[in-house]
Amino acid sequence: MRGLFRTGVAAFFALILAAGFLSAVMVGAVSGASQGQTTPVVCGAPVVDTGFNTSTIPPEYVQDVQDAARVSGLPPAIIAGQIRAESNWNPKAVSHAGARGIAQFMPGTWEGYGDGKDPFDPHAGIAAQGKYMAELYRQAKASGLTGDPVDLALAGYNAGWGGVQAVGGIPDNGETAQYVTKIRGFAAAYSQTPGSTAQGGTANAVPVSDSCGGGSSGGTTTGTDDYPFKDLPHCLLTSAGSYAGCPAGSQSEFNAFNRECVDFVMWRMNQQLGDTQAPWTVMNGNFRPDGGVLGNARDYRSAWENKGWPVDKSPQVGAVAWFGPTNALAPSGYGHVAIVKEVLPDGSYIEEGYNFGLPPGDHQYYTIKRANSVPDAFLHIPEAAKP
């Protein structure tokens, strides 16, 4: 979820997360924000879990999703996240391209997987989704292509397997990569125990040197959830995604809020600068030379530039992955920040952070594998700033 910051008074205003059709992105709206008020905001940083939380799934489709997961060989949270991305559980959905039903099949593809049933029958649609994903997943695992087979299979659902084969991976067409990552994010809301990765997630990640990329100095990360404030109170979300309040004790030592994305990033920054307890080198109000606050995640790049620290497109261990306010993975206008945990040889990295998803998955630690091109920038702590 987006990072929270405060400028003085502990007040808050509602945030609403909305999920739409395939062309939609997760959107955050904040009302009444003004100087002297505290505004809870959200960071979009997804994680996928092997568990399955059915509490926010229409009950009439729970068994269908579980059956489709067994057929496909994929976690049910992935199947559920895919349905949310495709139709937002609307069995009568029709896309501008003519895809139909809850699982958004084109007529030609439906002929091969729909068993002659009505594409607007949601039970038939989810069953067809399971069969089609089983085929795509089989092809992905046998393809020898670089990348996570789950992600490749999801890309094939969106762009066609031929499109994946043609480019040797996830097509960079402005839609498919976002589609894959969006599903990984939605799946987090359907996971039972946030904080671990799904089948085919980061299990095969191989750490490499932290000295690669961008000519900026590498950082460090413990690689574990050692965030010291994980058990303290935090702002609360309703099952619909709006903020229900920020209880006493939820304001953090960094002058932000506990278990928000920006608070976790400030913890990692302080670690790299030699601090593991107060007094802290980096706090919300002392980072920028001009006296401005670090603020919401959207403001981190300008804060880096104001400080004269390196900003580029190359991940390094310990760098801040920055998702700007227009990034499709961040709620509109507020951005997201996380930390590069590992850099991988296949042109990707492992990201760690805090706070994504609806209860009970909100305000939790997560990790996820991402393509280097997904964030808008990587923000580096220069070697000269370290002890």
> Do strands 348-354 and 365-371 pair parallel, antiparallel, or not at all (unpaired)?
antiparallel
Contact (CB, 8 A) for 139 and 147: no
Kind plus residue range of the DSSP H or E element containing 136: helix 122-143
Cα–Cα dist 80/241, whole Å: 17
Give the amino acid at 24.
Answer: A
Catalytic pick from 60, 86, 175, 253? Answer: 86
Rounded CA-CA distance 182/85 in Å is: 7
What is the spatial distance between Cα 303 and Cα 288, in angstroms, rounded to a whole number?
A: 6
Amino acid letter for position 43: C
Specify whether 86 is catalytic.
Answer: yes
113, 69, 197, 378 alpha-carbon torsion, rounded to 10°: 20
3-state secondary structure 19-80: CCCCCCCCEEEECCCCCCCCCCCCCCCCCCCCCCCCCCCCHHHHHHHHHHHHHHCCCHHHHH
Tokens representing 182 are 């969006």
Residues known to be catalytic: 86
